[in-house]
Amino acid sequence: MSGYLARRFGFLLITLVLTSATIFAVTQLLPGDVARIVLGREASATALEALRRDLGLDRPPVVQYLSWLGGFVTGDWGTSFASGQPIRPLVMERVGNSLMLAFLTLAIAVPSAIVLGVVAALHAGKPIDTVISVGALAVVGLPEFVTGLVLIQLLAFELAWLPASSSIRPEAGFLEALPMLVLPALTATLVLLAYIARLTRASVLAELRKPYVRTARLKGIAGRRVTYVHVLGNALLPTVTVVAISFGWLISGLIVVENVFNYPGLGALLTFAIDRRDVPLMQAITMIAVVAFALANLVADLLYAYLDPRIRFG
């Protein structure tokens, strides 16, 4: 088990180094002259020169990369071109917002998707299975800006249960933000729901066919115990991995949802950075997204190992 841990951790580090190099290459080295991209076609030669010096573009690429990576690791993420502010507090505030939204989404999406998937699998081929499967597919087919707007119309305007905009104050705590989080979280849930539910359904069905389920049934124990202890214990393992991948997407990929609800998350900040050609900000956000993805996968791997004795006691 300790060997497994060490190996997983090693993989994590390698992943981070490789992706950071890729991010750096794509944003700073490949575009040719970053200074011109940032400042535009009409920029004066002196301004370009100043920016190049600022970014250290006159140094060899490897030196540039290492100093950028060193800065990122030690917490010096540079200054945003667009706002002139230090990047780290700017990004960290948004990370906090995105985490709140991600956790609320998962808290809604995962249990409901699992319930739907399990119910569909246990009644495979019956009407309720068809309703769940078709319904989930129909919802996942709609883009977020459609479902988001429908939800706003319904829950914010018609019923007036929830606020339509989710532009929370920077210093808002979770409880204060909660009412404004619900609508974007529901919208993101609708994206994830079908995906997780169908995976759960498939893996429960696969488990039900395995001989050990028959063994359990032939012990004469209650059907409920067969389902919960034996079938679900094994069938929900793959779901762990899917939840981890979803978490990574929720942290940095909610660009549409955040825009629809005007939510100050990381995705919205990334669109802002791209709009303004704010290269250091883009780099910082993408790195954070990568770290979130990698950590979520690490947690999933560890959880998987913990839940599966065949890995735990290899």
Partner 1 sequence: MSAALRIEGLSVAYGTGVGARRVLRDVDLEIAAGETYGLVGESGSGKSTLALAVMRQLDGAARIEGGRIRLGDDDLLARTPDQMRSVWRTRLKLVPQDPIASLNPRVRVGEQIGEALDGARGRRDRVHDLLARVGLADPVRVARSYPHQLSGGMQQRVMIALALGGEPELLILDEPTTNLDVTTEATILDLVRDLVRERGTALLYVSHSLGVVAQLCDRVAVLYAGELVEDAGVEDLFATPLHPYTRALLDAVPSLDTGTGRAPLRPIVGAFPQPQALPSGCIFAPRCPVATDLTHEVRPPLERAGPTRRVRCHRWRDIADGTLDPRQPAEVRAGADEPAPGAGDVVLELVGIEKEFPIRRSLRDIVARRPARAVRAVDCVDLRLTRTRTLGLIGESGSGKSTLAKVVIGLVPASGGRMELLGVPLAHDIARRDHSVLRRLQMVFQSADEALNPTMTVREILRRPLQRLALSSRDGVRERLAALLESVRLRPEHADRRPGELSGGERQRVAIARAFAAEPDLLVFDESVSGLDVSVQASVLNVVRDLQVERGSAYLFISHDLAVVAALADDIAVMYLGALVETGPTQAVLAPPYHPYTEALISAVPVPDPRVRRDAIRLRGDPPSPSDPPSGCPFHTRCPRFLGDVCVEEAPPWLEGEDGNRIACHIPLDELVRLQGSVAGARPPVSVEARE
- Closer to partner 1 by Cβ: residue 198 or 230: 230
Work out how close the CB of 314 gets to partner 1 at its nearest, in angstroms, rounded to a whole number. Answer: 9
- Closer to partner 1 by Cβ: residue 10 or 170: 10
Q: Are 90 and 78 within 8 A, CB to CB?
A: no
User: What φ, ψ does residue 86 adopt, rounded to 5°?
Assistant: -60, 140
Give the separation between CA 157 and CA 292, rounded to whole angstroms: 35
- Closer to partner 1 by Cβ: residue 62 or 218: 218
Q: Are 292 and 252 within 8 A, CB to CB?
A: yes
* Tokens of residue 258, six digits: 């955040």
- Closer to partner 1 by Cβ: residue 5 or 154: 5
Work out how close the CB of 312 gets to partner 1 at its nearest, in angstroms, rounded to a whole number. Answer: 9
H-helix segments, the chain: 2-24, 34-39, 45-55, 61-74, 87-122, 127-141, 144-151, 174-208, 211-218, 223-225, 233-235, 237-252, 255-261, 266-275, 279-307, 309-312
Burial string for 37-73 (b: 16+ CB within 10 Å, else e) reads: ebbeeebeeeebeebbeebebeeeeeebbeebbeebe
Work out how close the CB of 311 gets to partner 1 at its nearest, in angstroms, rounded to a whole number. Answer: 10
Work out how close the CB of 211 gets to partner 1 at its nearest, in angstroms, rounded to a whole number. Answer: 4
- List residues binding partner 1 (CB under 8 A): 2-3, 6-7, 210-212, 214-222, 225, 229-230, 233-234, 307-310, 313
- Closer to partner 1 by Cβ: residue 149 or 208: 208
Work out how close the CB of 4 gets to partner 1 at its nearest, in angstroms, rounded to a whole number. Answer: 9
